[in-house]
Structure 1
Amino acid sequence: MDIYEARIAALAALIGESSLKDFSDRYDITPSHLSQIINGHRRMGERAAANLEAKIGLPPGALVAPSTFSNRAENQPAPHIAGNALPAPAQAGRGRLLPVIGYVRAGEFCEAIDNFQPGDADEWMEAYGPAGPNSFILLVEGHSMDPDFRPGDKVVVDPSAQWENGDYIIAKRARDQAVTLKQIKREGDRHYLYATNPDWPQRIIEMNEEWHICGRVRRKIVEY
């Protein structure tokens, strides 16, 4: 298998059982362009592969040099996707892997400007959908967001995703570098962080200049 065939195979694995139209619509790709690549009528060179990586939200090299990533994903378990998550790619490709971190290290990842490397986390996990270049998976701790998010849940955090009123976000406080998962709400010109657990002691926190939004929660992944 040459490099062009390997790129087509990696792309086909990402598409999996989805139709070309559904996959194209999901990532804003022209269906005819995708069809020509998959059917071998258009060669996927290095530049074309890099452009598709950016469209799909894959790390650099995932389609340009797919063999680099195949071994790393080979033995990862397939979790259940909860909430509004997108369908998982075919298991043969397993798609993009993101670092899994806890709240303690989340502050460091909020400040990251480069793509994460294998040594940045002990565990890597399937993104199961679109995610920006600096996205990571946060391991939920505590009960402030019960019942929406429980301890042990994993959420995909995307620092580059735009957030809106009512979204779940990750925020960091400057004075102690504390990181928290909350729902953000706006009332007039003020923003508040809400805990969804009605019994949580400090359920509402008004945001001020010491709070920084690290990213929006794209989806929740629950393992059984």
Structure 2
Amino acid sequence: MDDLATRLKQVMAELGLKSSVELATFCGVSQGLVAQWFSGTTRLGPKPLKAFARTQFSLDWLTDGKLPKYRPVAVEAASDVEDAPAIIGTPRLLPVAGRVQAGEDGLLHIDDFPPEQPEGYMVWFTSCVEAYALRVRGESMSPRYLPGEFVGVDPCADVYPSDEVIVLLSDGRRMIKRLLWQRDDQACFESVNKDFQNIVVDLEEITALHLVLGHIPKSAFRPSV
């Protein structure tokens, strides 16, 4: 009988899948849905079809019973697309601590708000209780950061090469840069704005590096709590 259940069994055999549980995992669907396929109570949807598209199977053959033009072969079930990183931390209210703009000197100019009176709050995930957010002002950091966007900052996190950071200097200056390397007694930074050259700073001049978490959607903004 050349029904969908029969064709799915052939697919499983070619892919080396031993059970409906493994088929569900391969397609990214529930075991209950796979059971419905075999019982004939539901059709293949876009999600499993997308999974099967990574193989050499004819989708027409799976859905309409047409014979494939070639013999399907077993392939790796894994996608070339990397899994998204897991969300770490708990949702917190990050105070919008200031408005940030890069100046012509490559330094940051931040209009700080009093700690007890932030501009508002951003609902975001972090394990750092000292994390905060900044609102971007002006075009000086375009196209990386656009006017009105929010960025999250984590002062607690360890910083590694290629991380974007806010650099706090002992003389009170601040910069937003990408850490390129850190060795001996110096660190090299790349500017967000490509108009500025890389700079090398003595470590003794740096009081802190705050990891930039990246963009936070505007929908996360809360004017008050």
TM-score (norm 2): 0.45
TM-score (norm 1): 0.46
Larger radius of gyration: 2
Higher relative contact order (CA 8 A, sep 6+): 1
Larger strand percent = 2
